[in-house]
Structure 1
Amino acid sequence: MEEDIVGMIDESMKMKEGEIIKGIVVKVTSGDILVDVGLKSEGIIPTSEFKRTAIPEQGDEVFVLLEKIEDDEGMVVLSKHKADIMHIWNTIQECYETGECVEGKIVKTVKGGFQVDLGGINAFLPGSQVDFQPVNPDDFIGTTHEVKILKLSEGRRNIVVSRRAILEEDMDKKREETWKKIEKGVVLEGKVKNITDYGAFIDLGGVDGLLHIGDITWGRLSHVSDVLHIGDVINVLILDCNREQQRIALSMKRLTPHPWENIGEKFEVGGVVKGKVVSITEYGAFVELEPGIEGLVHISEFSWTQKVRKPSDFLSLGDMVEVKILNIDEEQQRMSLSIRALMENPWEGARERHPVGSVVKGVVRKFTNYGAFVELEDGIEGLLHIKDISWTKRISHPSDELRTGQDIDCKVLSIDEETHRLSVGLKQMREDPLKKFVEEHAIGDIIPNARITRVLDKGLVVDVGVDGFVPYSQIQNPPKELQREYSIGDKVTVRLIEINEEKRRLVFSQTEYEPVVEESECVDSEEKDNS
């Protein structure tokens, strides 16, 4: 007995207050637990201190904090809660020093972040350290996560932790594994992470690659979101990669054959197909026959009869149209299409309906500086050149003699069904007054009452049923300035001295003799007249 007492005294001498020691549960009541730690008396610990662990049973070993070897009443003072806190703090400090992570439960939001319970010790988790992206706080309250200790102040018991640091470490490992797989030509699975106007960023496993909008599909794409959505899991082909610059170019469309491969097996010249209008330009419309295969309907191939000035007046984006294939250029990947080729061509048989020399009725539709276009029937117009409007009048612009919408009778001068060109004449509806004059007159004839229509420096222009010219040298007693002696409307008697049907020229003289008229004088006078 004496030896046991001495042993207990020796053992108690080894124990120090403030240390964690091991004890044996000797009794469990509804409110207290009696623990023997080898001192002269047992310590009593309230069961409330075991709220983080199960209530021990008699004979179980427990670790407790020795607060006092003997209090005023001679009792040993023990604490299970403080032992747990000290143990947790030691663990936290060790993890901080080694860089290991600890487990914590997010219990509530505080200013700038969250309060995290590290097993009885509170820590601060900044909002920026929760995830890579801003989060909804309500989604994290009550959740448990592994965190890394960023800052520890033992004196103030101030602890700052980060969940993001753990995610970054995991991401670095994942990224390293992913880069081992990445090389040109490899097909990988990825998740759509972000969508922009020019493409989508694909997460390949910690490493992002760019899937350009032009590499999503062979067909036209207005916006990436028409095909992809954030979170979509897709397969992509690596087109190019540069780890140093952290750039990866991806493609979806190249996982499928190019639509122009074996184009001849799918489409042929002369074939009739349906397509969708996907683009409209000033010169026509592009029609998609299938994704990646488009053809151009030039504005000239819209209609035989309608004068289409703006393609958008004839077609709209999204319209489904039936077209005929005119040409396929497999090398250039171009296709020419036609809408009007499926309509009746008004030019077929036009030569039989409007033979050269026939008189036709038409409507003046528009003017140019060189003539007027006359519509003979839907889809067929003829050019009435300004020189074919009148035999005698000098016309500056066709609108001087015609008006749009005017009905006229004219004669077909030429027609070409292949080039869709037809010319008509208005003056040809009447007899050529020059031809008639030549038939009725000869050189030397006297023409009375020739009316002056123009007075020029080089001579007089007279009307004898057709225009003729009296050179200055052929005027009787000519004054220095003809304008002082002659006026428009005056009538004179002249003699015919030259006829040139090819140049449509008549030359007259006022003198009683018939000298030879120099060619240069006539030419100069006509040039002056034309000016």
Structure 2
Amino acid sequence: MSEEMNVNELPEVQEGTIVKVTVESVEDNRVIVSIPNAKYDGIIPISELSSLHVEKASDVVSIGDEFEAMVTKVEESSVESEEKTGNYVLSKRKVDATIAWKKLEQQFEDGEVIEAEVKDVVKGGLVVDLGVRGFVPASLVEDHFVESFEDYKGKTISFKIVEMDQEKNRLILSHRAVVQDQKEQQKGEVIQTIKVGSVMEGTVQRLAAFGAFVDLGGIDGLVHISQVAYEHVEKIEDVLKEGQKVNVKVLAVDPDEGRVSLSIKETLGDPWSVVHEKAPKGTVLTGTVRRLVTFGAFVEILPGIEGLVHISQIAHKHINTPHEVLQEGQEVEVKVLEVNESDKRIALSIKALIADEGAPEEVTDYELPEQETGFSFGDILGEKLKDFNKE
């Protein structure tokens, strides 16, 4: 068969045809490829090598590489001669994108985790190549604030697809979603090992007005501000710092909600165990008024220890309410009238230290009233409900 017959019988290569090519040479801004059984060689411009920006063609392909490309243009010489010349313009990018979108659509439906190398760091996030350009917004890189993303370039990271639109060539990825899923799984495993009553070491992760979140190694538990210390805590920042190691006791575990309630003060010694030494009957102490109720004032005399100054022990003169004489946060001197360690109750007096008609009143014996001065939850809750109803 003559050479002329061979050429005439070669299959026609048209625009839109996908062909297999072999890289014959690599230039700075284009690649020359051969096409089996085609009339001419093909040219792939650097812009058609990848969905990402490419500085040099050699960064993407090498001589001898084989892959599929789409014919985007057929160029033939307009000069009439027996030996016509020309070439094909092809796109590797379009074939890669067609294959990639089909695969990505399935991965999106399945919620599959994808691993990819970060090709570039741009303003607002990261860029990866998945056959098409994928973008990771800064807010979806981690589940915490990141100062600079420069260290991410060149790293292989796991992602989930959160948004895709082939028509708009839009592919949004999230590494944060992968991190959060991993933490949730770890959280579920860790919470099964935590038992109520156990004492654990943790790290203060975050502070809030109502308490502190402590990392127990995969799950955060909450130490309410009332469980930080036996003494009154006004601001959590005054007692704890982020990153601080603390011992905590597990008060409650809710696996369904993923919640763990913790206490720091339960790991400390009971302050009432030293009351008989530090606040025996007859002792004069300086304390702080913590709460005012209709029947008296609760005064903190030791860290975590509050005693009751009954309204009758506030002043020599008759008063209708403790608010007439005292205010919360006020420092006062008190005398210990009686101590009941078993019930954790202390009776105090302010007027015993105040002169009346030129002489201080001396109180020698005092019995703790059963109803009025009891520190029961009923008394305290009743006062709180009154305040709430007033509001």
Give the superposition deviation at 1:71: 4.8
| Contact 1:26 1:59 (C-alpha < 8 Å) held by counterparts | yes
CA 1:15–1:92 in 2, change beyond 3 Å: closer, same or farther?
farther
Give the superposition deviation at 1:108: 8.8
Partners of 1:246 and 1:23 in 2: CA distance: 57
5+ residue gaps, structure 2: 78-85, 366-391
Give the superposition deviation at 1:331: 0.7
Partners of 1:84 and 1:54 in 2: CA distance: 19
Cα deviation, 1:172-209, whole Å, max 9, x if unaligned, reads 32222322332113325265668576x66666567564
Partners of 1:122 and 1:69 in 2: CA distance: 24
| Contact 1:189 1:233 (C-alpha < 8 Å) held by counterparts | yes
| Residue 337 of structure 1: aligned partner | 348
| Contact 1:215 1:253 (C-alpha < 8 Å) held by counterparts | yes
Partners of 1:80 and 1:221 in 2: CA distance: 67
| Residue 202 of structure 2: aligned partner | 189
CA 1:75–1:180 in 2, change beyond 3 Å: closer, same or farther?
same
* 2:302 partner letter: E
| Contact 1:115 1:122 (C-alpha < 8 Å) held by counterparts | no
Asked if residue 220 in structure 1 is aligned to residue 232 in structure 2, the reply is yes
Aligned partner of 1:328 among 318, 339, 364: 339
Asked if residue 59 in structure 1 is aligned to residue 63 in structure 2, the reply is yes
Partners of 2:190 and 2:364 in 1: CA distance: 65
* 2:30 partner letter: D
SS in 1 for 2:197: coil
Alignment of 1:249-260 (within 5 A): 249-260=261-272
| Contact 2:204 2:241 (C-alpha < 8 Å) held by counterparts | no
| Contact 2:192 2:255 (C-alpha < 8 Å) held by counterparts | no
* 1:256 partner letter: L
* 1:61 partner letter: D
* 1:33 partner letter: V
| Residue 21 of structure 1: aligned partner | 20
SS in 1 for 2:57: coil
5+ residue gaps, structure 1: 347-376, 381-416, 420-531
CA 1:130–1:324 in 2, change beyond 3 Å: closer, same or farther?
same
Indicate the structure whose relative CO is greater, using CA pairs within 8 Å and at least 6 residues apart.
Answer: 2
Partners of 1:20 and 1:226 in 2: CA distance: 71
* 1:253 partner letter: K
Partners of 2:310 and 2:105 in 1: CA distance: 78
Aligned partner of 2:113 among 101, 121, 129: 101
| Contact 1:216 1:251 (C-alpha < 8 Å) held by counterparts | yes
* 1:338 partner letter: S
Cα deviation, 1:437-463, whole Å, max 9, x if unaligned, reads xxxxxxxxxxxxxxxxxxxxxxxxxxx
Alignment of 1:187-266 (within 5 A): 187-189=200-202, 195=208, 207=219, 209-221=221-233, 235-244=247-256, 246-266=258-278
Alignment of 1:344-359 (within 5 A): none
Give the % identical residues. Answer: 29
Cα deviation, 1:220-279, whole Å, max 9, x if unaligned, reads 346767757899886532112242465533212112111112332333333333222222
Give the superposition deviation at 1:97: 6.0
Alignment of 1:410-421 (within 5 A): none
* 1:189 partner letter: G
Alignment of 1:123-162 (within 5 A): 146-149=158-161
* 1:319 partner letter: Q
Aligned partner of 2:286 among 266, 271, 274: 274
RMSD after superposition: 5.1
Decide which moves more: 279-288 or 252-261.
279-288
Partners of 2:282 and 2:237 in 1: CA distance: 37
Decide which moves more: 179-188 or 150-159.
150-159
TM-score, normalisation: structure 2:
0.62
| Residue 41 of structure 2: aligned partner | 42
Cα deviation, 1:324-346, whole Å, max 9, x if unaligned, reads 333221111122233344456x6
Give the superposition deviation at 1:218: 1.4
Partners of 2:303 and 2:364 in 1: CA distance: 35
Cα deviation, 1:301-335, whole Å, max 9, x if unaligned, reads 445xx525143343332233333333221111122
